[in-house]
Amino acid sequence: MITLEQAKKLKPGDILHHVHNLNADGTPERWKVNGKPQTWKRNPGRVRVPIKHRLYHHDYLTEHNLHLVNLGR
């Protein structure tokens, strides 16, 4: 699980590992940060980070699903 402050400091190219979803060989899914995090001045508890998995799976990491990923090493 990553914190809100860690999510705000992510950079393009950082790797995140999914907590629940596993690959066929048992390793956690890798998600790559695809752009810079978007934050709001009016609501500092909000963040949106574009991420991608493999070639065609794109999604956003938000404050609601931060508990689903860990920082990759």
Residue 72: name the closest of 9, 2, 23, 24 by CA.
2
**Domain coverage including residue 57:** 4-71
In this predicted structure, what is the pLDDT of residue 72?
80
Contact assessment for residue 51 and residue 35, using Cβ atoms and an 8 Å cutoff:
no
**What are the start-end ranges of the E strands in the chain?**
15-22, 28-33, 38-39, 47-53, 57-62, 69-71
Alpha-carbon gap, residue 48 to 36, rounded angstroms: 9
In this predicted structure, what is the pLDDT of residue 38?
97
60 is written with which tokens?
A: 């956003």
Number of domains in the chain: 1
Per-residue pLDDT of the chain (73 residues; tens, 9 = 90+): 999 999 999 999 999 999 999 999 999 999 999 999 999 999 999 999 999 999 999 999 999 999 999 998 6
Q: Residue 32's domain is classified under what CATH number?
A: 2.30.30
In this predicted structure, what is the pLDDT of residue 73?
67
